[in-house]
Amino acid sequence: MKKITAIYPGTFDPPTNGHLDLIERGSKIFDELIVAILRNAEKAPLFSLPERRLMLETLTQDFKNVRVDTFDGLTVDYAARVKASAVLRGIRAVSDYEYELQMALMNRKLQPALETVFMMPAEKYSYLSSRLVREVAQLGGSIDCLVPELVAQKVREKMDVAHKFENAEQLAGKASSEGKSRSRKKKA
C-alpha cells in the first residue's frame, strides 16, 4: 500500500489555533504531514524562520506523523523533493477559495501528479489569520483565544521589545529636539 505524504505550506507568522486545527485533522488523513514553513523574502515576518520552526515543532510534538521543515521556491519543487503527493490548504472564505484555486491549478500545470486537498477550518477559526493576530497584538488586544499559549507568550515578548524600542526612539527624538530648542534659546 502506498504511503501518502502531504505538505501543509505557509508562513505561519505566527502559528494560530486555525493552523493547529488543520494540522491535527490533516494528520488523521495522511500517513505523513509535513508542515512546510515558507521562507518568503518579500515579507518582513514578526518571527524569524528558526523561531517559527521551533514553535511549530513544540506545538506538533504529540503528532507522531507530523514533522516541520522549511523551504523556499516553488511549492511543487519542494513537494517533489520530499516525495509528497498532496498539498493541504485551508480555506476560510470564498475569497480564499479564489486565490487557492488559482494556485492549485498552477501547481497542477507544473506538477500534474500533485493533488491539492482543501479543508475548511473549524467554524470557530473561520475568520482567523496570522495577519489579524499580529494586528490585534500590535494594537494591544488579547490574542489568548486565537493562538496557543506558547505563541501568545512569544508574541507578547516580541511586542514588549518592539514597544520598548519604539519608546526609546521617541524619548531619544524628544531629548534631541529639546536639546536643539535649548541651544536656540541660548543663542537668542
Eight-class DSSP state of 123: G
Helices (H), the chain: 17-29, 49-59, 75-81, 94-110, 130-138, 149-187
Distance in angstroms between the alpha carbons of the first and the last residue of the chain: 89
According to the model, what pLDDT value does residue 96 have?
84
188 residues of the chain, pLDDT tens digit each: 789 999 999 999 999 999 999 999 999 999 999 999 999 877 789 999 999 999 999 999 999 999 999 999 999 999 999 999 999 999 988 778 888 999 999 999 999 999 999 999 898 998 899 999 999 999 989 999 999 999 999 999 988 765 554 555 555 666 565 666 555 555 55
Residue 55 corresponds to which cell in the numbers above? 514553535
What positions carry a catalytic annotation?
Answer: 19, 43, 92, 130
CB 54 within 8 Å of CB 90? no
68 CB-side CA count, 13 A? 23
Residue type, 88: L
According to the model, what pLDDT value does residue 42 have?
78
CA 130/CA 150 separation, integer angstroms: 15
Q: Which helix (H) or strand (E) element contains residue 89?
A: strand 86-90
Phi, psi of 29 (to 5 degrees): -95, -40
According to the model, what pLDDT value does residue 180 have?
61
* CA nearest to 14, candidates 179, 175, 135: 135
* CA nearest to 116, candidates 77, 84, 91, 87: 87
CA 78/CA 84 separation, integer angstroms: 8
pTM of the model: 0.83
Nearest-5° Cα angle at 19, 28 to 72: 100
CA 78/CA 13 separation, integer angstroms: 20
